[in-house]
């Protein structure tokens, strides 16, 4: 409709004033809620053509548009703003189109669709996934689904940081303190077990630092001289030299972690099309860096370390290879990028990584460009804010992180407690209850995180997220279940919901619902362009909030007029489908009963 109105305004200016205007000069917006109307045209840019007042110009353009567009039923003028009113018939047609398409709002990829690769998760194998990883995984998965819904081919990918000094710390602590402990012997998830030894390493390291400081060393000196950190560095060198014993321990402990990660990913409902491992990509990156040295792109110092001087590009010097020959994250990312672009015909590469890594990706993009990869400057870093808890930031080394598994288990307990207090699941079997608790808990967690603008740092509050009222996942899930209950009652009463409804007179609340509903395709498009699941989340909430007001004020099943009753049932059914579609883009399930 906006495109039609814009084209007709251009035609009106030509007919009324003999002038040709560019479509960029025609602003068509949704009418503000405090004014009557559906679409608003700003007429101020056209006063130089009409040579009349804003009100007179709006009157002339409004009359032309109503005569030219059959879907317009009238207009009103507020100063220089022309508010256009769209007829009931148009909104009925919008409902019928939405009802006829089970994939309403979605586009499908074709042979010529662009391929988007989206990297998310990127865990380290020295610790389990935590709350920060949850936001990353949920954002990455949701952006992937939104990009698919915009007709893109999508490859969901993960890079596992399975090598480096941090991995050696866990390995070394296990060697010293583990006494052969395994996930099987301890009953612990593998990623949790390995994470505990990472914390134990830090505890040993701090003791050694304190002892050295007590003997007269500065803290910086102590951090370098501590025996345990020297052992960890030696282990890393052994790993890079393919020492059999070191590699065997590394493979064993990583296998424990991968099994734990897989379980967590399954619980969260996220997946990947391709998983890359730093241990396989860092050598490619190292070769690229050494090529850069030969070609004069990078500089090798006297201690054999390799650096990139980016001062002419407004940045600083960046180390790419240490003096002992070991790689840094940047080296790995160079290699991973090269491998990915050889594996897939990627049009766009999106990295879902926190905003503390903005500088890292500025450098990566620049280095790849300097190495001659034309796609280097096209890499997109989707940066997002951190997740904090009421007690403050989390620290992995100190063991103060909130594990993803523990958080989900806690969320399920909260969902169980709240549901029991409200009595919402009375009469359900224990198995049904547990399934719904899980669905509600994950819905609460995902929605609470995804409804926030990704760029913002957010505070996570489990209790607040599971409220059955307000802007929460459970509130939306409960509304969906309520709609399904109405539809079941209609089926039990032998009422057949039509595939479409004829043009009938509809009230203000019904019209408002269809207006929100019909905007879903444009919301999905905007969410894709802005990489923002929050736009979808808040659309679904607005739709649900409007439906609940409608449901409270207007009867569906007890409506005596059969035609209106069937119209309202079709409207409710279509809103239910759109809630389900919208939540699918967020990776959230909706229960049929609650």
Rounded to the nearest angstrom, the gap between the alpha carbon of residue 298 and the centroid of all alpha carbons in its chain is 36
Q: How many Å apart are CA 147 and CA 141, to the nearest integer?
A: 10
Query: Among 126-130, 154-158, 230-234, which stretch is predicted with the lowest mean pLDDT?
Result: 126-130
Q: How many Å apart are CA 84 and CA 66, to the nearest integer?
A: 8
For the chain, percent of residues with pLDDT exceeding 90: 82
The whole-number pLDDT of residue 276 equals 96
Residue 339 has pLDDT above 70, yes or no: yes
Note the pLDDT tens digit of each residue in 287-324.
Answer: 999 999 999 999 999 999 999 999 999 999 999 999 98
Note the pLDDT tens digit of each residue in 263-292.
Answer: 999 999 999 999 999 999 999 999 999 999
The whole-number pLDDT of residue 515 equals 93
CB burial string 221-238: b at 16+ within 10 A, e below = ebbeebebbeebeebbeb
The whole-number pLDDT of residue 415 equals 86
Does residue 383 contact residue 358 with C-beta atoms inside 8 Å? yes
29 has which bridge partners? Answer: 40
For residue 485, give the nearest of 572, 382, 362, 412 by alpha carbon: 572
Does residue 257 contact residue 198 with C-beta atoms inside 8 Å? no
Mean pLDDT value across residues 230-243: 94
Q: How many Å apart are CA 393 and CA 435, to the nearest integer?
A: 32
For the chain, percent of residues with pLDDT exceeding 70: 98
Does residue 102 contact residue 577 with C-beta atoms inside 8 Å? yes
Mean pLDDT value across residues 116-137: 94
387 has which bridge partners? Answer: 458
76 has which bridge partners? Answer: 83
For residue 513, give the nearest of 563, 447, 578 by alpha carbon: 578
pLDDT band, residue 425 (cuts 50/70/90): confident
Q: How many Å apart are CA 292 and CA 288, to the nearest integer?
A: 6
The whole-number pLDDT of residue 394 equals 41
Q: How many Å apart are CA 343 and CA 566, to the nearest integer?
A: 52
The dihedral over CA atoms of 131, 137, 140, 143, expressed in degrees to the nearest 10, equals -80
- List the structure tokens of 415: 């969902």
Residue 51 has pLDDT above 90, yes or no: yes
Element (H, E) at 168: helix 165-177
Mean pLDDT value across residues 111-134: 93
Cα–Cα separations (whole angstroms), residue 117 to 147, 269, 352, 379, 553: 10, 19, 11, 10, 46
The whole-number pLDDT of residue 469 equals 80
Mean pLDDT value across residues 107-129: 93
By CB neighbour count within 10 A (0-12 exposed, 13-18 middle, 19+ buried), where does 206 fall? middle
What DSSP string runs through 341-369?
HHHS--SEEEEEEEGGGHHHHHHHHHHHH
The whole-number pLDDT of residue 396 equals 42
Mean pLDDT value across residues 401-430: 83
pLDDT band, residue 71 (cuts 50/70/90): very high
Note the pLDDT tens digit of each residue in 448-491.
Answer: 999 999 999 888 877 777 777 889 999 999 999 999 999 999 99
Q: How many Å apart are CA 501 and CA 177, to the nearest integer?
A: 72
Note the pLDDT tens digit of each residue in 158-168.
Answer: 999 998 899 99
- List the structure tokens of 544: 């649900």
Query: How high is the mean pLDDT of the chain?
Result: 93
Phi-psi region of 341 (alpha: psi -120 to 50; beta: other; left: phi over 0): alpha
The whole-number pLDDT of residue 313 equals 92
Domains and CATH numbers, the chain: 2-86 (3.30.1360.70), 120-158+170-188+252-388 (3.40.50.620), 440-584 (1.10.730.10)
Scanning 423-472, the segments in alpha helix (DSSP H) are: 430-450, 462-465
**H and E: helices and strands count for the chain:** 22, 14
Does residue 373 contact residue 337 with C-beta atoms inside 8 Å? yes
pLDDT band, residue 79 (cuts 50/70/90): confident
Residue 401 has pLDDT above 70, yes or no: no
Residue 399 has pLDDT above 70, yes or no: no
The dihedral over CA atoms of 27, 32, 37, 39, expressed in degrees to the nearest 10, equals 20
pLDDT band, residue 356 (cuts 50/70/90): very high
The whole-number pLDDT of residue 395 equals 46
The whole-number pLDDT of residue 349 equals 97
Does residue 381 contact residue 358 with C-beta atoms inside 8 Å? yes
Does residue 115 contact residue 76 with C-beta atoms inside 8 Å? no
């Amino acid at each position: 409709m906006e495109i039609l109105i814009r084209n007709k305004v251009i035609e009106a200016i030509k007919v009324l004033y003999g002038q040709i205007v560019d479509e960029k000069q025609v602003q068509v917006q949704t009418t503000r809620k405090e004014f009557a109307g559906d679409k608003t045209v700003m007429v101020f840019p056209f006063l130089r053509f009409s040579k009349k007042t804003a009100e007179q110009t709006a009157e002339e353009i409004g009359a032309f548009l109503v005569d030219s567009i059959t879907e317009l039923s009238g207009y009103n003028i507020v100063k220089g703003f022309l508010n256009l009113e769209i007829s009931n018939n148009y909104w009925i047609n919008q409902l019928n189109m939405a009802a006829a398409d089970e994939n309403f709002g979605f586009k499908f990829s074709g042979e010529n669709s662009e391929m988007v690769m989206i990297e998310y998760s990127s865990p380290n194998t020295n610790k389990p996934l935590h709350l920060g990883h949850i936001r990353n995984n949920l954002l990455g998965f949701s952006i992937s689904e939104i990009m698919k819904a915009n007709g893109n081919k999508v490859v969901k990918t993960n890079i596992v940081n399975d090598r480096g000094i941090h991995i050696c710390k866990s390995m070394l602590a296990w060697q010293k303190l583990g006494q052969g402990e395994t996930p099987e012997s301890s009953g612990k998830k593998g990623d949790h077990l390995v994470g505990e030894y990472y914390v134990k390493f830090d505890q040993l390291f701090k003791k050694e630092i304190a002892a050295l400081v007590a003997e007269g060393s500065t803290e910086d000196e102590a951090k370098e001289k501590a025996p345990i950190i020297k052992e960890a560095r030696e282990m890393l060198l052994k790993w890079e030299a393919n020492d059999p014993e070191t590699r065997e321990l590394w493979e064993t402990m990583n296998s424990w972690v991968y099994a734990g990660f897989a379980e967590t990913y399954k619980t969260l409902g996220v997946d990947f099309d391709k998983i890359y491992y730093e241990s396989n990509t860092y050598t490619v990156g190292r070769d690229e860096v050494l090529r850069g040295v030969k070609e004069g792109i990078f500089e090798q110092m006297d201690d054999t370390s390799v650096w990139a001087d980016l001062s002419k590009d407004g940045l600083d010097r960046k180390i790419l290879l240490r003096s002992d020959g070991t790689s840094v994250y940047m080296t790995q990312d160079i290699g991973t990028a090269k491998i990915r672009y050889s594996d897939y015909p990627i049009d766009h590469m999106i990295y879902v990584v926190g905003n503390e890594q903005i500088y890292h990706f500025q450098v990566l993009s620049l280095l790849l460009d300097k190495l001659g990869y034309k796609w280097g400057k096209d890499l997109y870093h989707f940066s997002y804010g951190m997740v904090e808890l009421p007690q403050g930031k989390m620290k992995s080394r100190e063991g103060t992180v909130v594990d993803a598994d523990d958080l989900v288990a806690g969320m399920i307990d909260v969902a169980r407690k709240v549901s029991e207090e409200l009595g919402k699941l009375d009469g359900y079997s224990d198995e049904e209850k547990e399934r719904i608790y899980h669905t509600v808990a994950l819905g609460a967690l995902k929605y609470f995180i995804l409804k926030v603008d990704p760029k913002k740092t957010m505070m996570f509050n489990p209790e607040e997220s599971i409220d059955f009222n307000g802007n929460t996942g459970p509130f939306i899930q409960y509304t969906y279940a309520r709609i399904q209950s109405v539809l079941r009652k209609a089926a039990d009463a032998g009422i057949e919901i039509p595939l479409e409804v004829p043009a009938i007179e509809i009230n203000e609340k019904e019209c408002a619902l269809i207006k929100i509903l019909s905007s879903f395709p444009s919301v999905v498009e905007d969410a894709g362009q802005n990489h923002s699941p929050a736009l979808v989340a808040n659309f679904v909430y607005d739709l649900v909030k409007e439906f609940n007001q409608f449901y409270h004020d207007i009867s569906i099943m007890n409506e005596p007029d059969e035609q209106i009753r069937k119209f309202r049932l079709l409207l409710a059914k279509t809103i239910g489908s759109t809630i389900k579609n919208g939540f699918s883009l967020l990776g959230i399930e909706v229960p049929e009963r609650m």
